[in-house]
């Protein structure tokens, strides 16, 4: 593993790393924000950010506007890349292949050799990141945007004993029933829709009656992907049926961009920190 960049931001350090992933079988990059150390005894919790289609670790680190608040509140942020990169399978379509892993474990060729992002994020990368955070508290939350919002919901719901809170901006919350999800799932998993259910937050939440981890979702009403790709009704209905703690906020006039994320990131961080700093 090597350091590619270090930038000082609001007293903390924004660091970009490269390492060889055994699970993904390629070189991977991730970014980590470490707040300025305020005392030797204060512990540091961790928030995961999963970015959306076509993005990298740079999108949130450069446009997310989170560093000031994260430094003030003494919380670390990890930003993985959105997929395997380099000499691995790819597609000419922007919404499939590199930059579009959907954070799942692919089972079909040519994807299954490298596109094991769920295992990478739940097994390999955490073991690396934990060692890089001085005085890590052991507490984690997860959040994401669009495809990354889908990833945050899936990882958070499937790992309730690991993540204490989940949030998302404009998530693909029912991918089995929207064009982006249907395309990705049929390519990575095949046409048996029963195999899709373990990667669909709407299906997962139906069975997640234990350990009611709180969820916050922000969706802009002027998001050009909203009606076709990001419909929330099935997810919210499934959550209500099992009495899950979901707060869904529609923000009038906001779109799918990082302008929306930067506007509401502080409210999301406050939401997570209420859980991360509980004794």
Q: What is the set of active-site residues?
A: 146, 223, 256
Q: In angstroms, rounded to a whole number, what is the distance separating the alpha carbons of residues 116 and 118?
A: 6
Nearest to 269 by CA among 71, 27, 127, 57: 71
Whole-number Cα distances in Å, 143 to 68, 77, 253: 18, 10, 22
Give the DSSP letter of residue 232: -
Cα within 13 Å of Cα(25), Cβ side: 9
CA-based radius of gyration for the chain: 18
Task: Give the ranges where 95-246 is alpha helix by DSSP (H).
Answer: 117-119, 125-132, 147-158, 179-189, 201-205, 226-229, 233-241
Q: Give the max Cα distance, the chain.
A: 53
216/137 Cα distance (integer angstroms): 23
Please report which helix (H) or strand (E) contains residue 165, including its range.
strand 163-169
Strand-pairing partners, residue 47, are 77, 141
Question: Are 147 and 117 spatial neighbours (Cβ–Cβ below 8 Å)?
Answer: no
Residue 5 structure tokens: 């960049």
């Amino acid at each position: 593993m090597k350091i590619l960049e270090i930038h000082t931001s609001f007293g903390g350090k924004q660091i970009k790393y490269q390492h060889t992933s055994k699970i993904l079988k390629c070189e991977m990059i991730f970014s980590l924000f470490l707040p300025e150390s305020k005392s030797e005894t204060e512990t540091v919790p961790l928030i995961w950010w999963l970015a959306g289609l076509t993005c990298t670790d740079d999108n949130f680190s450069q446009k997310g506007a989170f560093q000031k608040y994260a430094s003030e509140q003494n919380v670390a942020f990890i930003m993985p890349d959105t997929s395997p990169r380099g000499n691995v399978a790819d597609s000419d379509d922007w919404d499939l292949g590199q930059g579009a892993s959907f954070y799942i474990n692919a089972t079909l060729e040519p994807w299954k050799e490298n596109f094991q992002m769920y295992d990478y994020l739940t097994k390999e990368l955490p073991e690396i990141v934990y060692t890089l955070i001085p005085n890590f508290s052991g507490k984690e939350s997860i959040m994401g945007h669009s495809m990354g919002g889908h990833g945050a919901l899936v990882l958070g719901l499937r790992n309730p004993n690991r993540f204490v809170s989940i949030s998302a901006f404009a998530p693909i919350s029912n991918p089995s029933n929207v064009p982006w999800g249907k395309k990705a799932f049929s390519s990575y998993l095949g046409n048996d829709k029963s195999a899709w259910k373990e990667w669909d937050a709407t299906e997962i939440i139906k069975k997640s009656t234990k350990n009611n981890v709180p969820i916050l979702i922000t969706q802009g009403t002027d998001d050009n992907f909203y009606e076709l790709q990001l419909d929330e009704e099935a997810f919210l209905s499934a959550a209500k049926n099992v009495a899950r703690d979901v707060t869904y906020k529609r923000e009038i006039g906001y779109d799918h961009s990082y302008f929306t994320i930067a506007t509401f990131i502080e409210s999301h961080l406050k939401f997570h920190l209420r859980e991360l700093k509980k004794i």
